[in-house]
Amino acid sequence: MALASRRRPTPLRAFASVLLAGALALTATACTSGGDKGGGPSFQGGSEAGDQPKATAAITAPAADAKDVPASTEISFNSKDAVETTVVVKNAAGAAVKGTLSAAGTWLPDNALEYGTTYSATVTATGDDGKPATVTSNFTTMAKPGKQIRVTSFLGDGQTVGVGMPLIVKFNQPIPKDFRDDVQRRMTVRATPAQEGIWHWVSPTEVRYRPKTYWKANTKIFYKIQAGGLPMGGGWYGRSDLTVDLKVGPAVVMTVDNKNKKMTVKKDGKVIKTIPISLGKKSTPSSSGTMVVIEKLKKTVFDTMDDPNPANRYVTDIEYAQRLTWGGEFIHAAPWSVASQGRTNVSHGCVNMSTANASWLFNQTRVGDPIVVKGTERKLENGNGWTDWNMSWGDYVKGSAIPPEAASPEATTVPSTEPTATTAG
């Protein structure tokens, strides 16, 4: 929206637990009768004693007439004794820029600002006396930088994924630790229905998001990375913003028990099939842990001729393969081991089942559906696949660039036109 507004005393309560920069601050400030031309905050409190409005407003950043401002800049402001505060940002042609108020008490453009352009920001605070206090400040954005970082998402618009699917965002240059919190604050996830979740830095070039528990079936997810023009360290800036709109399918969860050599398949909490399986033999055990389906291949070829152990070398046509780890563990059809399925382990680490069962399962699942394997000789190594669910929630939170103590079960946010809660961090 071009004109952002906040009112009190009825703030919108976010129903997701989030990691945010801070609560909305309505800070008392000193007032002067005009803008500060020395580059500091601009204040407004009225010009005549008898006509002074009760409310006051101040723009604290960017500084008045600032130059070389990043295109990602927020408008920081304070207001006192205001029933309603509005923010309007316009470009040099006088056109309003769309933006929203954040929970931290700043105005954030919906998209990166234009490079090398002068903008005006106007904050109006109105008290219960109905008299507005208005302050306007100008600033000019920097020239387009030569060093830009590209931001990409593994998932795209319109996809339907499993309930264990992490949101995966990558950068083509490493983000220094000191800048990851700034980047993370520009990464928002809106889930309908709202669910608690957090971003976790897997590496300097990759960050993922997962909810505290599996996504609820049929959840709608929108996430936005407002990286355009954002400083990312070492003179690098974000190249552009990124948005993704997708949904979650039914809750299909697979559980494999090495003790009885069976897979139990549940859909939306109900058992829909029990499948006899064969896991990895002692020399090539399957991994125990929580994995998700990474990719699905109706037909493929397993070629292990580069294995240093001659006993593990083979080339085999495979049907209905569903990858679980980067190390080569799959669910797949294995007609050659049907006699062992449900009885003994004979595979090279994969979850073997009959062709009929593999075909049936292949038609039930989506990328991102979780599978829990129990009771094998080897534990799943974190990082060997999308192992986000193999970590406890406490350990996952530690991967956030925003301190865990900043989390709040019910974070106060400013009023928004959005119908659902927004989570960040």
- Tokens 């399957």 sit at which residue? 286
350 catalytic? Reply is: yes
DSSP string, 15-73: SS-EE-S-PPP-------SS--TTSS-EEE--SSGGG--S-EEEEEESPTTEEEE-TT-
Burial of 394 (0-12, 13-18, 19+ CB in 10 A): exposed
From 31, 200, 348, 350, active-site residue: 350
Query: Is residue 110 within 8 Å of 98, Cβ to Cβ?
Result: yes
Taking the CA atoms of residue 26, residue 32, residue 33 and residue 37 in that order, the dihedral angle to the nearest 10 degrees is: -100
| 331 neighbors 321 (Cβ within 8 angstroms) | yes
Per DSSP bridges, beta strands 106-109 and 18-19 are unpaired
Q: 155, 133, 194: which is closest to 416 by C-alpha?
A: 194
Among residues 229, 238, 224, the alpha carbon closest in space to that of 188 is found at 224
Distance CA 13, CA 185 (A): 19
Two structure tokens written together for 424: 């960040």
Q: How far apart are CA 180 and CA 350, in angstroms?
A: 37
Q: Coil, strand or helix: which one is 115? A: coil
- Token code pair at residue 129: 């006396």
Q: What is each CA distance from 139 to 67, 70, 121, 232, in whole angstroms?
A: 6, 10, 8, 21
Give the 3-state secondary structure of residue 304: coil
Provide the β-strand partners of residue 87: 4, 123
User: From the centroid of its chain, how far is CA 182?
Assistant: 14
> What is the amino acid identity at position 340?
S
CA 312/CA 303 separation, integer angstroms: 10
Q: Which of 31, 200, 332, 348 is an active site residue?
A: 332
Q: Is-catalytic flag, 348?
A: no
User: Catalytic site residues?
Assistant: 332, 350
